[in-house]
Amino acid sequence: MFKSIYGKIALILLGVLILLNLFFPLKINTRYSTLITASDGTLLHAFLSPDDKWRMYVELKEITPTLRKAIITKEDKYFYYHFGVNPIAVVRAFYNNFTKNRRTSGASTITMQVVRLLYPGERTYLNKLSEIGRAMQLELFYSKDEILQLYLNLVPYGSNIEGIKSASYLYFQKSPDRLSLAEVTTLAIIPNRPTSLQLGTRNPFIVQERNKWLERFKLERAFESQVINDALREPLNVSRHEAPKLIPHLALRLKKQFPDEPTIQTYIKLPVQSKVEQIVGNYANRIRAMNIHNAAVLVINNETMQVETYVGSANFNNKTDGGQVDGIQAIRSPGSALKPVLYATAFDKGIITPKNIINDVPTNFSGFEPENFDKKFNGKVTVEFALANSLNIPAVKVVRDLGKKELIDVLKKANFQTVKKQEKDLGLSIVLGGCGVTLEEMTQLYAVFANQGNWERMSLKKQAKESRGASPLISKESCFLITQILSQIKRPDLPNNFDYTYRLPKIAWKTGTSFGKRDAWSIGYNKKYTIGVWVGNFSGEGVPELSGAEIATPLLFQVFNSIDYNSTNEWFKQPDNVVSRQVCAESGDLPNDYCSNKILDYSIRNISHTRKCAHIKQFFVNHAETMSYCTQCLPIDGNYKQKNYMNYAPELISFYELKHILYEKIPAHNPACTRVFGASNNLPVITNPNNGSEYYVNTKDPQQMQLACQAANDVKEVYWYLNDKLLKKAKANQPVFFMPTAGKLKISCTDDKGRSSSIWVTIKPE
């Protein structure tokens, strides 16, 4: 019978609680300080909560048995046995307060204190009843451990400090799970008397009060006697400290990106981060004399794509030099640093192989006339030489042959945000720095070469579920070819300083210097790490001494030697589809019957081109080698012979003529021949003016315009026409001048073989 009555009462109470919860739901919307931690959990950076409190979120794992027992023994020894309210304590408190007409003892449990901290109000009997109801409600929806966690997160410590974790860091400079019994007891007694027990100002008095509680712990046998005796002798030398403010650039970025997460754990390795920060700071101090003030470094673990080091600037606190700018996210010009992905894409398309020859000569790309960094030209060079020496004209030619859309598509897949936005405005200069990139994008891009061609977004913070969505960007075969080229030691972007080359790490790397020498880049990788380095001024000021080779690469080498000096020399293995084949040294194409100088070249099986070499062309000439013949005008008497001549491109001939480089010229064609050469190849190329361009002339002081072309090796003379009227006959590759008049103008050039090219320009008066 009694059991039945008690059961009904319990059901009624449960129903009342459910109804009360519907009408007065429990709301816990406490906002915490944002904490940024290292990979091992070390606190790196802390921010105030939105209401300007130091309210650091304590994790359950940080509540040690010592902390748990000390708090419960002091505050609520029956915490695990009641349902939010201790009825015996309530009756005792009510009786004492009623009979003595004043508050002599409290009855608040830890749960009730949590309610009071969540819903502060005046200390009235009505509020006390509400507090009791809320406490039972809290117990209904939260476990005991969660309630204890809430208490430890909200307990006040005076000023704007709330929560035991905040007090632990701000006073003891350690996490709660590292507190000793004496320190735990100290923090346990302060919330009841925050005014009289002020840490840092009344430490001797706090020790006295602490020891009283330690003695009570001994009487209650809460801890072993020896542990308590050690705690009684422990001194208290503490004062308030600043919250940690490490990795400020990354901390600000993560706080903005994840504003509602109280604790954000990164992959930062604090010892490595500190070492790299020191290296960057010291290096920036050394180059400041050259008016170069800043640098940024990003270190990515290739195996996990986790960011282990993040240095946004040389000194965050240096406001004069823009230290608070995050150089890892800043949009800058990459200079030549995009060339490896260009050549890798061209390898994948089968357009070129490492030993293919490209002419590094002055070239006009519809008005765009790039120059090399050293203002020099090298004539015939291999693709691998062009990349290792970062030559500009060969790179632009590859973009032209590949199609700029192919390169842009690859960069878009690699999540280059500015390239996505500016896609329609980008031209051939994209490979020379004509687009905006970030150090983050560039470092992720180079990590592709270390990860067999797969692009993956770098990880800044630890997630509950690690998702690694790698997407193929380039083939592993092209990655190997690029790595072979970029790991060469004999190259111009190796620093001249012996201190750096003496401990040269085993890496593949590429430099870049933006136009105007505003940005210096050096990005390198090995099996384990990809490291991106940017050096320059956030103001955008150019410096004559700034270059990727001499300024950024030494810093790259220092960082690599610092974090990976003792690593194994394991290197990238050659894929099965990368095979060696013989090619002609003069062209890099498969040799024909005339090729005598053959070399080995890498190629990708079933992908690389199979062009036959055409660097030699056979001609019929007289015995004196002063006249050449075609098959239509061969002497009937047989007074001729066959001879092989180098089949130079017109642009290379123009370069040889300009530099007075001797080369064997094809004899002039038989003047008596009436055949017209209508083949589309070897047409004269009009290099000036530019097809489709508009030119303005000063009518008061008109200036002459220049006509120039590039002709084949067998061409001796060309004929210039303006609007189909003969202007002048001239030697091949000889500039011609004329006085322009306003209007549409057709310019034609015909060589002595009858081959012709035409362009249109518009002349306008100023």
**Residues designated as active site:** 75, 336
Give 713: exposed, middle or buried? Use CB within 10 Å, 0-12, 13-18, 19+. buried
C-alpha 532/C-alpha 559 separation (Å) is 10
In contact, 254 and 27? CB cutoff 8 Å? no
Distances (CA, A) of 635 to 638, 642, 667, 673, 696: 6, 13, 16, 11, 52
- Token readout for 330 is 């800043």
Count of alpha carbons within 13 angstroms of residue 755, beta-carbon side: 20
Q: Which residue has the tokens 């970030």?
A: 438
Buried b (16+ CB within 10 A) or exposed e, 494-518: bbeeeebeeeebebbbbbbbbeebb
Q: Which residue has the tokens 């896609």?
A: 423
- Token readout for 582 is 């013989």
Strands (DSSP E) contained in 116-230 are 161-162
C-alpha 534/C-alpha 396 separation (Å) is 24
Q: What is the DSSP string of 46-90?
A: E---TTS-EEPPPPGGG--HHHHHHHHHHH-TTTTTSSS--HHHH
In contact, 212 and 68? CB cutoff 8 Å? no
Angle between helices 2-23 and 125-141 (to 10 degrees): 100
- Provide, for the chain, the percentages of residues in helix, strand and coil under a 3-state DSSP scheme, each rounded to the nearest 5: 35, 20, 45
Q: Which residue has the tokens 């906002």?
A: 31
C-alpha 525/C-alpha 532 separation (Å) is 9
Q: Which of 762, 673, 760, 669 is nearest to 711 (CA)?
A: 669
Q: Please state the φ and ψ torsions of residue 78, each to the nearest 5 degrees.
A: -105, 25
- Token readout for 701 is 């002081």
In contact, 690 and 366? CB cutoff 8 Å? yes
Q: Which amino acid type is present at position 674?
A: T
C-alpha 632/C-alpha 12 separation (Å) is 116
In contact, 209 and 191? CB cutoff 8 Å? no
- Token readout for 293 is 């003030």
Residues 6 or more apart whose CB falls under 8 angstroms from that of 234 comprise 180, 182, 183
Give 639: exposed, middle or buried? Use CB within 10 Å, 0-12, 13-18, 19+. exposed
